[in-house]
Chain A
Amino acid sequence: MERSEGRIHSLRVEGITKRFPGVLACDDISMAIGEHEILALVGENGAGKTTLMNILMGLYQPDEGSILINNEPVHFKSPRDAFEAGIGMVHQRYMLIPNLTVVENIALGMKEAHKKGVMKLGEVRRKMQEVSDNYGLHVDPEAYVWQLSVGEQQRVELVKTLCYGARFLILDEPTSALTPQETDELLVLLKNMSKQLSIIFISHKLQEVKTLSHKVSVLRHGRMTFSGDTEKYTPAELASFMTGTKVELPVNERIDMKGEAVLELKNLKARSDRGFFALDDLNLTVRAGEIVGLAGVSGNGQKELAEVINGIRRLEGGEIRFFGENIANLTPGKVIEKGMGYIPEDRNTEGIVPSFSIRENIILKDNTTGKYSKKRFLKLGTIAEVSDRLKEQFDIRCPNTTTAAGSLSGGNIQKVILAREIDRSPRFLVAVYPTRGLDMGAAEFIHQQLLELRNKGIGILLVSEELEEIMNLSDRIGIIYKGKIMDVLDGNTAEIKTLGLLMAGVKND
């Protein structure tokens, strides 16, 4: 910890402004954090939280404003300057190099790990051990990063930041990619760490904010709209600061549509990427006009199930009856033609083509049909019109529809996908973690859209690990565990406790 001997008693930013082409990401933001404090920074997707933190780390230069440590102005030209000052950040998209080992990843930014141009990995391992003993953070130094789960990668990021001597820790949405169990573990860990460190914790899950933080600041559209002590406010109040209005997540009224079975999954068997049977004799039926929630800890076959239905993964046994017709092992294109809608788990790689414009992403599934093309030429006028209409209808926040989809925030990317899928009038929808990592406002919007679709008589298979989401939306709830459906409960009568037990594989009858 040589380099950060100087303690940080206070950190302040004043009047920070940052513009991107067409967007004012940070608008005259000021805030302050003291020693051993946990400050929660909350705000909807695209509010400017990440941008502000990147400015603190010296990754972006602010257009206006200054940063003060112990009341002295500092200028960070690069993250190295920020490390020197004792500030470290765990980014929302992890900054790890998949084809290097953990210890090599940490060595990359560590001065002590290099002597006369030669790597001293022993030094890094010693430091990792020190951090591990101090905070109870264990990672295998010799593992390759690509072999690690998301939760493990996050631990590597934490260890890395601490090895660089951070006294002041910034965590950008650390829980958005974690399972509920991993989230709980992280919160406990951070609580302990705050005895020795100061922490800025970005999240839009207000429950976490309540449990963890001392102070809370709210960003909205790039402006700081509220700062105060966490204790004094309820999650609902904080939510209304975030969105500017009261948010209430909509609930399924469960008026029975008495639809016929539209998707029947019979004895499905399929392997995961690692070769074991991720779906092991799975049976489930979804009727028209109902939402079947699939609850379960992620990694129990959800991903494989969604892929098998959509023709992306090979089915090795069983049948998928879609409106009576077996669609098992059809190509994805054929499945789409049959009227299947799909909101994939990984929105950035499977949901959109990031470098394509919003328009191009909207027509991705229909670019050869009469809807958007004529005699093999694209109808650019129609495409522009439809995209602009969807931008309004789905409240996609972007400068215009020719913007690259990948440059949008997660919530807006999800809205683009949803707009495409819904505007195609699907006969069925598979929605996988549709609100993962999204703020309340965006989640509310997406829930409303799903319910509307259901009320129009469309069947929906909703995969989620947020029990609240499942309970609010589902007509029936299937619980998946190790590739099998443990049980199917009625949405009206299901209890969180039973769900939790079933998700853990405990069945008592």
Chain B
Amino acid sequence: MIDFLYSILVLGIPFSVSLLLASLGEMYNQRAGIFNLGCEGVMSMGAFVGFVIPYFLIRAGVESGIIYVLGIAGSLAAGALLGLFFGVVVITFKAPQGIAGIGLQMFGVGVAGTLFRHFIGGIASVPGIKPMPVPLLSKIPLVGNIFFNHSLIVYLALILVPVSAWVMNRSSWGLRVRACGTAPRAVDSVGISVDRVRYQSLAVGGALAGLAGAYLSLCQVKMFADTLISGRGFIAVALVYFGRWNPWGILWGALLFSVTQVLQLKIQTMGINVPYEFAVMLPYVLVIIVLTFSNKNFQLGPSSLGKAFDRENRL
């Protein structure tokens, strides 16, 4: 039994990381009042850029670890740029956010896939980022492997949870972000630019989504394909609601989701006689059930989510 749990948990944490990062990014967007359904597209671009930089550097004969640093930096930048691009569409030009988000998703996935086929094509892989065991801690039996034997991005993602909670609740910028998501008019009335705060949060959110993609292509599967993200971006959006716009809630949602995901893989490989489609459904069903029954007190959520702000429009 312990073995079984261990085998699920040891995979569950790394599985959750891309969801966690993307979802934290989406949280920054939504807290500022921007509903970004395009997360999937941003992740796809992040995954592609993160992959393509080391791939070509290796072919050019560069061997050191710097190639991955460059890849990650590229994915962060690509994500942030896509976030800002989305901002131009929904903040400056005030396009409806839901539709624009779907557009961004298709744009990101499409462009990444096309560029990949054009420049690389076929199946290509990179050695990927190696796990970096934490000295001493990773030697603890069981726990060591579950928590302290992962790649750097995993630790980074986990640290980002308390950091994001602090940024949201204690920093000046977080205060502005929270205010913009609820009462942009009030923010405007004290002379803070709502649009600027929203652009900033889109850049941060986009960078995190880009990193989430790069984690997939550099750490988890170590290759790129245009089906790589396969709906994780949408799950990330759902997890923000699941976690009530709160980093800790999002962490717990991401873990729950990926642990059930691993569980369903286990069920399939163990040859238990349930139709595999049913197992694949499990995590999604679980999220829907929890969302259905979770506390619906939206008092503390961003109540202006999805609405463009226009000072001279009184509606």
Task: Give the interface of A toward B (CB within 8 A).
Answer: 20, 57-60, 78-83, 89, 91, 93, 95-100, 104-105, 107-109, 113-114, 117-119, 146, 164, 354-355, 404, 406-407
**Beta-carbon nearest neighbor of A356 in chain B:** B315
The minimal Cβ–Cβ distance linking A202 to chain B, given in whole angstroms, is: 16
Give B78-124 interface residues, CB cut-off 8 Å to A: none
Q: Please state if A97 and B191 are interface contacts (CB–CB under 8 Å).
A: no
The minimal Cβ–Cβ distance linking A435 to chain B, given in whole angstroms, is: 21
Q: Given A109-B192, A406-B315: A99 and B175 within 8 A (CB)?
A: no
B182 interface neighbour in A93, A100, A107, Cβ under 8 Å: A100
Q: Please state if A107 and B175 are interface contacts (CB–CB under 8 Å).
A: yes
Q: Please state if A108 and B179 are interface contacts (CB–CB under 8 Å).
A: yes
The minimal Cβ–Cβ distance linking A456 to chain B, given in whole angstroms, is: 35
**Beta-carbon nearest neighbor of A94 in chain B:** B186
Residues on A with C-beta less than 8 A from B188 are 59, 79
- Residue pairs across A and B with Cβ atoms less than 8 A apart, 10 shown, are A80-B191, A97-B186, A97-B187, A99-B182, A99-B301, A107-B172, A108-B187, A114-B172, A118-B170, A119-B171
Residues on B with C-beta less than 8 A from A114 are 172
Q: Please state if A354 and B315 are interface contacts (CB–CB under 8 Å).
A: yes
A118 interface neighbour in B172, B182, B190, B312, Cβ under 8 Å: B172
Task: Give the interface of B toward A (CB within 8 A).
Answer: 170-173, 175-176, 178-179, 182-183, 185-193, 299-301, 303, 311-315
A355 to B172, CA, bound (A): 33
**Beta-carbon nearest neighbor of B191 in chain A:** A80
Instruction: Using A81-B191, A118-B172 as known contacts, list a sample of 10 further A-B pairs with CB atoms less than 8 Å apart, ordered by residue number in A.
Output: A78-B191, A93-B185, A97-B179, A98-B299, A108-B187, A109-B191, A113-B172, A118-B170, A146-B299, A354-B315
The minimal Cβ–Cβ distance linking A51 to chain B, given in whole angstroms, is: 10
Q: Please state if B170 and A119 are interface contacts (CB–CB under 8 Å).
A: yes
Residues on B with C-beta less than 8 A from A404 are 315
Residues on B with C-beta less than 8 A from A99 are 178, 182, 299-301, 303
Residues on B with C-beta less than 8 A from A98 are 182-183, 299, 303
B183 interface neighbour in A60, A95, A118, Cβ under 8 Å: A95
**Beta-carbon nearest neighbor of A91 in chain B:** B189
Q: Please state if B301 and A95 are interface contacts (CB–CB under 8 Å).
A: no
A137 to B187, CA, bound (A): 23
Q: Please state if B191 and A79 are interface contacts (CB–CB under 8 Å).
A: yes
Residues on A with C-beta less than 8 A from B303 are 98-99
The minimal Cβ–Cβ distance linking A469 to chain B, given in whole angstroms, is: 27
Q: Please state if B179 and A355 are interface contacts (CB–CB under 8 Å).
A: no
Q: Please state if A108 and B301 are interface contacts (CB–CB under 8 Å).
A: no
Q: Which of B175, B299, B300, B303 has the most CB of A within 10 A?
A: B175
Q: Please state if A96 and B186 are interface contacts (CB–CB under 8 Å).
A: yes
Q: Please state if A117 and B190 are interface contacts (CB–CB under 8 Å).
A: no
A99 to B300, CA, bound (A): 5
Q: Please state if A79 and B189 are interface contacts (CB–CB under 8 Å).
A: yes
Q: Given A100-B182, A355-B315, A407-B315: A118 and B191 within 8 A (CB)?
A: no
B178 interface neighbour in A20, A59, A100, A407, Cβ under 8 Å: A100
**Beta-carbon nearest neighbor of A58 in chain B:** B191
Q: Please state if A407 and B314 are interface contacts (CB–CB under 8 Å).
A: yes
A109 to B194, CA, bound (A): 12
A95 interface neighbour in B173, B185, B300, B314, Cβ under 8 Å: B185
Q: Please state if B175 and A20 are interface contacts (CB–CB under 8 Å).
A: no
**Beta-carbon nearest neighbor of A147 in chain B:** B299
Residues on A with C-beta less than 8 A from B182 are 97-100
Q: Please state if A109 and B190 are interface contacts (CB–CB under 8 Å).
A: yes
The minimal Cβ–Cβ distance linking B311 to chain A, given in whole angstroms, is: 7
**Beta-carbon nearest neighbor of B193 in chain A:** A78
The minimal Cβ–Cβ distance linking B193 to chain A, given in whole angstroms, is: 8
Q: Please state if A108 and B176 are interface contacts (CB–CB under 8 Å).
A: yes
**Beta-carbon nearest neighbor of A405 in chain B:** B315
**Beta-carbon nearest neighbor of B172 in chain A:** A114
Residues on A with C-beta less than 8 A from B315 are 354-355, 404, 406-407
Residues on A with C-beta less than 8 A from B178 are 97, 99-100
Q: Please state if A117 and B300 are interface contacts (CB–CB under 8 Å).
A: no
Residues on A with C-beta less than 8 A from B313 are 407
Residues on A with C-beta less than 8 A from B300 are 99
Residues on B with C-beta less than 8 A from A407 are 313-315
Q: Please state if B175 and A96 are interface contacts (CB–CB under 8 Å).
A: no
Residues on B with C-beta less than 8 A from A117 are 171-173
**Beta-carbon nearest neighbor of A76 in chain B:** B191
Residues on B with C-beta less than 8 A from A93 are 185
A78 to B299, CA, bound (A): 29
The minimal Cβ–Cβ distance linking B57 to chain A, given in whole angstroms, is: 35
Residues on B with C-beta less than 8 A from A59 are 188-189, 311
Q: Which of A59, A83, A164 has the most CB of B within 10 A?
A: A59
In the A-B complex, list the 7 residue pairs whose CB atoms are closest, starting with the nearest. Answer: A109-B190, A80-B191, A95-B186, A79-B191, A114-B172, A95-B189, A97-B183
Residues on A with C-beta less than 8 A from B186 are 95-97, 105, 108
Q: Please state if A100 and B179 are interface contacts (CB–CB under 8 Å).
A: yes
Residues on B with C-beta less than 8 A from A354 are 315
Q: Please state if B189 and A119 are interface contacts (CB–CB under 8 Å).
A: no
A159 to B186, CA, bound (A): 15
**Beta-carbon nearest neighbor of B180 in chain A:** A97
The minimal Cβ–Cβ distance linking B293 to chain A, given in whole angstroms, is: 22
Q: Please state if B190 and A60 are interface contacts (CB–CB under 8 Å).
A: no
A31 to B120, CA, bound (A): 71
A383 to B178, CA, bound (A): 42
A167 to B68, CA, bound (A): 57
Q: Given A59-B188, A79-B190, A407-B315: A118 and B171 within 8 A (CB)?
A: yes
Residues on B with C-beta less than 8 A from A118 are 170-172
Q: Please state if A104 and B175 are interface contacts (CB–CB under 8 Å).
A: yes
A407 to B188, CA, bound (A): 19
A100 to B299, CA, bound (A): 10
A58 to B187, CA, bound (A): 14
A50 to B221, CA, bound (A): 60
A467 to B49, CA, bound (A): 71
Residues on B with C-beta less than 8 A from A119 are 170-172, 175
**Beta-carbon nearest neighbor of B245 in chain A:** A99
Q: Which of A80, A107, A113, A119 has the most CB of B within 10 A?
A: A119
Residues on A with C-beta less than 8 A from B301 are 99
Q: Given A95-B186, A407-B315: A83 and B191 within 8 A (CB)?
A: yes
Residues on B with C-beta less than 8 A from A100 are 175, 178-179, 182
A89 to B191, CA, bound (A): 12
Q: Please state if B312 and A20 are interface contacts (CB–CB under 8 Å).
A: yes
**Beta-carbon nearest neighbor of B174 in chain A:** A119
The minimal Cβ–Cβ distance linking B199 to chain A, given in whole angstroms, is: 17
Residues on B with C-beta less than 8 A from A108 are 175-176, 179, 186-187, 190, 192
Residues on B with C-beta less than 8 A from A105 are 186
**Beta-carbon nearest neighbor of B184 in chain A:** A97
A91 to B171, CA, bound (A): 27
**Beta-carbon nearest neighbor of B314 in chain A:** A407
Q: Please state if B170 and A60 are interface contacts (CB–CB under 8 Å).
A: no
A104 to B176, CA, bound (A): 10
